[in-house]
Amino acid sequence: MIKGFIFDLDGVITDTAELHFEAWKKLSDEMGWYFDRELNEQLRGISRLDSIKVIMNHNKVSLTDDAITELATKKNDMYVASLDSMTQDDYLPGARELLTHLRTEGFNVALGSASKNAIKVLEQLNATHFFDVIGDGNSVTKSKPAPDIFLYAADKMNLPANNCIVFEDAEKGIDAAKTGGFYSVGIGPEERVGHADLRFNTMKEATLFEVKSFFKELF
C-alpha cells in the first residue's frame, strides 16, 4: 500500500535549473571554460561537486581538490544570492496543488533532494510545512543514482520503500528510486524519465487522481 510520497526539489517542486545555469555560466566565463545549456542539462539532479567535475572534464581541465572545492563554493555563493529573488509564486504549476491534496488526504510527505540549499529554497517558497521529513544534500554522502537519499527519507517516515512513490525529474533520480525499490513517477520527456513506472510531461498533469488511477491496486 502507498502511504508516503517523496519529492525531488529542483525540477519537481520548483525550477532552479535556470539559477544554477546562470551561476555555473558566470564561474565558467571567469575561468575561460566552455559552458552551455546542453552541458547544464547533464547537471540535472547531480551534486555540486559532481557538477563541477562534469564541466571540468568537458573542458579537459584538472585541478587540486582544494581548488575544486573553492570554485564550487564560489558558484554556490552566486547561486544562493540569486535564491533571494525566489517567492511563493515560483512553484512549478501543479506542485503546490498536489502537495496540498496529499496533506488533506493524510499521506506522509518527504523531500529527497541532492541540494544542500533545499531548506533555503523551501523557505523562499513557503513550502516547509508540506513536509514531514526533509532529506537533502546534507543528509547522506552518496548522491543519486545511489538510492541513499530516498532510503533516508523513507526510513525517517518509518515506511518501507515499497510503500512510497518517488517524484523525480532526473534520469539518475529515477535510477536511484528504482535501485531503492520505490515506485516512481518521472516528470519530463520520455528520453529522460521514460524508465519511471509512470511519467508526466509536467507537474500540472501529475494530479493525485491520475496517480491513484495508475497505481490503483496500491491505494
135 has which bridge partners?
A: 112
Question: In angstroms, what is the minimal distance from the CB of 169 to ligand B16?
Answer: 7
- The set of catalytic residues is 8, 10
From the list ligand B16, Mg ion, none, which binds 116 (C-beta under 5 to 8 Å, kind-based)?
ligand B16
Residue 106 per-residue DSSP state: T
Residue 14 per-residue DSSP state: B
Residue closer to Mg ion (CB basis): 4 or 11 = 11
**How far apart, in whole angstroms, are the C-alpha atoms of residue 3 and residue 174?**
19
32 has which bridge partners?
A: none
Q: Of the listed pieces 21-29, 33-41, 168-176, 190-198, which binds Mg ion according to CB under 5 A?
A: 168-176
Residue closer to ligand B16 (CB basis): 8 or 175 = 8
Residue closer to ligand B16 (CB basis): 48 or 199 = 48
Question: In angstroms, what is the minimal distance from the CB of 84 to ligand B16?
Answer: 14
Cβ proximity of 111 and 5 under 8 Å: no
Per-residue CA distances from 28 to 31, 82, 139, 144 (Å)? 5, 17, 28, 24
Half-sphere exposure of residue 219: CA atoms within 13 angstroms, side-chain side: 16
Cβ proximity of 98 and 212 under 8 Å: no
Cβ proximity of 116 and 78 under 8 Å: no
Q: Please give the residue ranges that form the binding site for ligand B16 (CB under 6 A).
A: 8-11, 20, 43-48, 51, 76, 113-117, 137, 170
From the list ligand B16, Mg ion, none, which binds 76 (C-beta under 5 to 8 Å, kind-based)?
ligand B16
Q: Does residue 8 touch Mg ion according to CB under 5 A?
A: yes
Question: In angstroms, what is the minimal distance from the CB of 91 to ligand B16?
Answer: 14
**How far apart, in whole angstroms, are the C-alpha atoms of residue 54 and residue 60?**
10
From the list ligand B16, Mg ion, none, which binds 175 (C-beta under 5 to 8 Å, kind-based)?
none
Residue nearest to Mg ion (CB): 11
Q: Which of 189, 193, 191 is nearest to 168 (CA)?
A: 193
| Residue 29 in grid coordinates | 566565463
Q: Does residue 10 touch Mg ion according to CB under 5 A?
A: yes
Q: Does residue 11 touch Mg ion according to CB under 5 A?
A: yes
Judged by DSSP in three states, 212 sits in helix
Judged by DSSP in three states, 167 sits in strand
- Window 40 to 59, contacts with Mg ion (CB under 5 A): 45
Residue closer to ligand B16 (CB basis): 22 or 218 = 22
Residue closer to ligand B16 (CB basis): 47 or 139 = 47
Q: Which residues bind Mg ion (CB under 5 A)?
A: 8, 10-11, 45, 169-170
